[in-house]
Chains A and B, each alone.
Chain A
């Protein structure tokens, strides 16, 4: 665990990780029994989809409820669907979980092969939206929010994670062809690739402008890249797409290149495994592989009251089950021993100002947290810049009183989101 330095009147600097020592290639972890794919569609009993329980599916087969929806999953294995159930994620997000029993004889679905001749945006949305890195290609077809700049994020989103770095360092050829396809499909010429500043050298012509991003957390976060590199401020509460910037993970671009080269939909996700002692390993696993298979492969044991974290130490989310599957955005799996779990407390803010000095977007966290603790979310948003927060977690990291500030912030955003949705609904109903 990180400890601050003895002399500490300056703010701590947290640097993004490099690749693990003695790194060769990611270790392949095959799913042993089942994979679980999460569809971003709420589960309903009577919904009819392209699959049902007991049906045989092939690797690369599209699993969806609605053929035209951009929300679907791509089967990462060959086997039979053994269960379809509801799954609730963080902050009440509803998914449909499709469990597939793995058949060792692998057969590939050929639907994409026919479409792989012409890389149109429609093909991308129809077949490649579930690529590792979660590209969400439908954003580029949204006429309400036209995108003029694509930024390929070659930066990690969290500390210790080296997944994107691995992509940048080892899969440049695929990224290059991916960039070509992206240009052709979207018609957007202005493509940038943001990479850590120590990797800026030696790319040659890859079809995108290479820009350097600092190695200090949270320089690699999307709002920061937009602000520092493009000079565009994403207004509080809006997404990068609102300002015409489409971010896409480097891994998704590499997978895009790979898809058209192999004419198959890639479903292998690279991720960083972070052990209890901080040792790291690069792992490649089919999407949907349960964490337990990766733990077994890494000979890692979790006990009661340990923590299993999907993502990195600053922004990841702790899950309650070893069966949690690897998804398109799972860049890391981190384990934490029960003795390393930092405590949070119910102490009030003592106004030491550590959070103020570390906040990258200059949010008045000390005042904000007082309103959030009192549940006055609307005031917090109006007076103390709740929505300027970019969710980096640094305030909680340095909080002397160990207040779970980041949790308060996420909670407030969630609650306000609910209220806003309700208000929108009532106005809509009133208008009708």
Chain B
């Protein structure tokens, strides 16, 4: 052995700003908490069980896939946990255990791992899982039926169903402040608008999600044109914005890193596409809520949209 000191040699830069994937995901988890806690308070122990099962099974599927594909174990980076909790948030509190298990399987295995794991998924895993399950077991996503045994003292109908089948008159009883404070039925973590917005603002301010996508999604959703065209048939922008999966979609699902664009104009187009598609599906499509499908369509456009990029300085054309 020589007596030279052994230094670490590596390439520049020798500084890092300290960000990490783990940090990013745990902050997203933190940002979901206001909405999830509200769901737990509202629906009780069931709403605690579903997210717990979703997080644990999502991480389990990730571990199984890590082992099966002989790749490094990545359950510690928090992405599986985020996928799990976001999936639980869109479920009704009464979702059976097998639905959660299958949902997280679809999200983690089909939505993420078979594409190559984190960073490689073309579609948002949660949106994909929710879309597949909504088509496969529509009854469990019918919130009026799932939550029939609950009564919280406000209008116990799913606003979007009422809007779709009975027109804007049926949702006149919902006030904006009521919707913001969660006085509506829906998924465990989708009803409390204020909580979602607070979580979203936190993530935007900390730089964990891209504001351009959220803002363009919300602008795209405004549904004002439909409302102006025929107020007796189409709901107001506020109803569309604060009910169903709109806020969770805009803040947590559309902003998924690997399935969304990174350049400025593409981000705006992507968000707006998702927003506009949501309103189109809700207003003239057959589905009650179109957020999941709208996000999947926008995900599909993402690689194409991201080709619109500024020219590099010094680029020789």
- 6 A-B pairs with the lowest CB-CB distances in the bound complex, closest first: A353-B262, A407-B11, A8-B207, A388-B312, A342-B16, A393-B13
Question: CB-CB contacts of B3-14 with A at 8 A, as 1s and 0s?
Answer: 011111111111
B18 within 8 A of A: yes
Q: Which residues of A contact B (CB under 8 A)?
A: 1-4, 6-9, 12, 159, 223, 227, 233-237, 302-309, 311, 313-322, 334, 336, 338, 341-342, 344, 346-354, 356-357, 360-364, 366, 385, 387-388, 393-394, 396-402, 404, 406-407, 410
B13 and A313 within 8 A (CB): yes
A307 pairs with B263, CB closer than 8 A:
no
B72: Cβ under 8 A from any A Cβ: yes
A406-B12 in contact (CB<8A): yes
- Chain A residue numbers with a CB within 8 Å of B260 are 351
Chain B residues, CB < 8 A from A2: 15, 17-18
How far apart are the CA atoms of A9 and B15 in the complex, in Å?
A: 20
Which residues on B sit within 8 Å (CB–CB) of A317? 11-12
B21 x A362 contact (CB < 8 A): no
Interface: B138 (CB within 8 A): no
**13 A-B residue pairs with CB within 8 Å:** A1-B16, A7-B205, A8-B206, A9-B204, A302-B5, A305-B7, A316-B12, A317-B12, A318-B7, A318-B10, A320-B6, A404-B10, A406-B11
* B10 touching A344, Cβ below 8 Å: yes
Q: Are B119 and A401 in contact (CB under 8 A)?
A: yes
Q: Please tell me if the beta carbons of B17 and A397 are within 8 angstroms of each other in the complex.
A: yes
B residues apposed to A, CB below 8 Å: 4-21, 24, 72, 77, 116-120, 204-207, 210-211, 257-258, 260-263, 309-316
CB–CB A401/B314 < 8 A? no
B310 and A362 within 8 A (CB): yes
Which residues from B are CB-within-8-Å of A223?
313-314
CA distance A233 to B316 in the complex (A): 10
A-chain residues with CB within 8 Å of residue B309 when the two chains form the complex: 362, 364
Which of chain B's residues has its CB closest to A408's CB?
A: B11
B206 and A6 form a contact (CB under 8 A): yes
Name the residue on A nearest B19 (C-beta).
A400
Most chain-B Cβ atoms within 10 A of its Cβ — which of A223, A237, A356?
A: A356
B206 close to A397 (CB less than 8 A): no
B7 touches A356 (CB 8 A): no
A222 to B207, CA, bound (A): 30
Give the distance in Å from the alpha carbon of A360 to the alpha carbon of B313 in the complex: 8
User: What CA separation (Å) do A118 and B219 show in the bound complex?
Assistant: 72
CA distance A257 to B288 in the complex (A): 80
A309 to B8, CA, bound (A): 10
Query: Chain A's nearest CB lies how many Å from the CB of B4?
Result: 7
> From A354, which residue of chain B is reached at the shortest CB distance?
B19
User: Judging by beta carbons under 8 Å apart, are B313 and A362 in contact?
Assistant: yes
CB distance from B25 to the nearest CB of A (A): 10
A401 to B5, CA, bound (A): 30
Given A320-B9, A348-B118, A348-B119, A363 and B312 touching (CB < 8 A)? yes
Taking a contact as CB atoms under 8 Å apart, the answer to whether B13 and A397 are in contact is yes
* Residue pair A306, B8 in contact (C-beta under 8 Å): yes
Can you add 6 more A-B contacts, CB < 8 Å, to A307-B9, A314-B12?
Answer: A8-B207, A305-B7, A306-B5, A313-B12, A396-B12, A396-B13
Which residue of B207, B262, B310, B316 contacts A351 across the interface (Cβ within 8 Å)?
Answer: B262
With A and B bound together, what is the CA distance between A393 and B21 in angstroms?
19
Within the complex, the shortest CB–CB distance from A272 to chain B, in Å, comes to: 15
Closest to B18 in A: A3
**Chain A contacts for B207, CB-based, 8 A:** 4, 7-9
The answer to whether residues A305 and B14 also contact, given A6-B206, A351-B119 and a CB cut-off of 8 A, is no
Whether B14 lies near A316 (C-beta < 8 A) is yes
Docked-complex contact A320 and B20, CB < 8 angstroms = no
Give the complex CA separation of A316 and B119 in angstroms.
Answer: 30
Minimum C-beta distance from B143 to chain A (A) = 33
Contact A314-B13, Cβ < 8 Å, known A223-B314, A236-B312, A348-B118: yes
Instruction: Say whether B15 contacts A347, CB under 8 Å.
Output: no
Question: For residue A406, which residues in chain B have a CB less than 8 angstroms away from its CB?
Answer: 11-13
Q: Which of B18, B118, B205, B261 contacts A350 (CB 8 A)?
A: B118
With both chains docked as a complex, state the minimum distance between the C-beta of A8 and any C-beta of chain B, in angstroms.
Answer: 4
Q: Is the CB of B14 within 8 A of A342?
A: yes
List of A residues within 8 angstroms of B12 by Cβ: 309, 311, 313-318, 393, 396, 406-407
- The minimal Cβ–Cβ distance linking B74 to chain A, given in whole angstroms, is 8
**Quick check: B312 and A304 within 8 Å, CB to CB?**
no
Q: Are B8 and A338 in contact (CB under 8 A)?
A: yes
A360 CA / B314 CA spacing, docked (Å) = 11
Indicate if the CB atoms of B313 and A233 lie closer than 8 Å. Answer: yes
Name the contact of A385 in the complex, choosing from B21, B120, B257, B312 (C-beta under 8 A): B312
User: How distant is B129 from chain A, measured CB to nearest CB, in Å?
Assistant: 19
Contact status A366-B118, CB under 8 Å: no
User: What residue in chain A is nearest B205 (Cβ atoms)?
Assistant: A7
* Contacting pair B72 A236 (CB below 8 A): no
| Alpha-carbon separation in the docked complex, A270 to B20 (Å) | 37
Name the residue on A nearest B6 (C-beta). A304
- List B contacts of A399 (CB < 8 A): 16, 19
Chain B residues with Cβ below 8 Å from A315 are 12-13
